[in-house]
Amino acid sequence: MIFPPHNKDCAIFEEKINDKFYALHRPSSVEVGGNYIWMAESADGVHWGNHHCLIKTRPGLWDSARVGAGASPIRTEQGWLEIYHGANEKNQYCLGAFLMDIDEPAKVLKRTTKPIMAPTEAYELSGFFGYVVFTNGHIVNGDELTIYYGAADEFVCGAKFSISEILSALS
């Protein structure tokens, strides 16, 4: 166990940066972590520290109630791209993206203001927990990004995206 209990959404970077491992995570306790995305670092991949808040919720937007990491960040020429989930006060989950500096991942460069994916299909809107798209995995093939996501907490689906189009949507 690399993080203490009551923690979720762990996404470990796929390579070391400046001889350190990095991970995104979310302390589950609102009092401790605020339903925000946090970052931690490790010299050995076992002992983690320097935890700090990286991405917060944004009042009035699609990710106003909670945010959490998805799969491992994707290395691009512009920086580390993270596809994350966000929810509003009605517990409607969408996917968005943010970009971190390639050498200093604790530095967020850009973030989408609109979701890159929102629940629209019947199987995303109705199920065990409706109005939900929630990712935990992906495959990168050049510019094509296949995101595997949960729909309504009942189905597992796949959707294809262009990495360059996601990067263009960042502001």
pLDDT string in tens for the chain (171-residue length): 788 778 888 999 999 999 999 999 998 777 777 899 999 999 999 999 999 999 999 999 999 999 999 999 999 999 999 999 999 999 999 999 999 999 999 999 999 999 999 999 999 999 999 999 999 899 999 999 999 999 999 999 999 999 999 999 999
Looking at 33-143, which runs of residues are DSSP E strands?
A: 37-42, 49-55, 66-69, 74-75, 80-87, 93-100, 108-111, 133-141
Q: What is the pLDDT of residue 44?
A: 96
Nearest in space to 52 (alpha carbons), one of 32, 29, 31, 81: 32
SS3 of residue 7 by DSSP? strand
The two tokens of residue 149 are 């996501």
Report the relative pairing of strands 66-69 and 80-87 from DSSP bridges: antiparallel
The two tokens of residue 61 are 């937007």
How many residues does the structure list for the chain? 171
The two tokens of residue 171 are 């502001």
* pTM score, whole prediction: 0.95
Q: What is the pLDDT of residue 159?
A: 98
Residue 43's CB is within 10 A of a number of other CB atoms, namely: 12
Q: What is the pLDDT of residue 4?
A: 77
Task: Give the HSE-up count for residue 5: Cα atoms under 13 Å, Cβ half-sphere.
Answer: 0
Rg of the chain on CA atoms, in Å: 15
Residue 147's CB is within 10 A of a number of other CB atoms, namely: 22
By CB atoms closer than 10 A (0-12, 13-18, 19+), residue 134 is buried
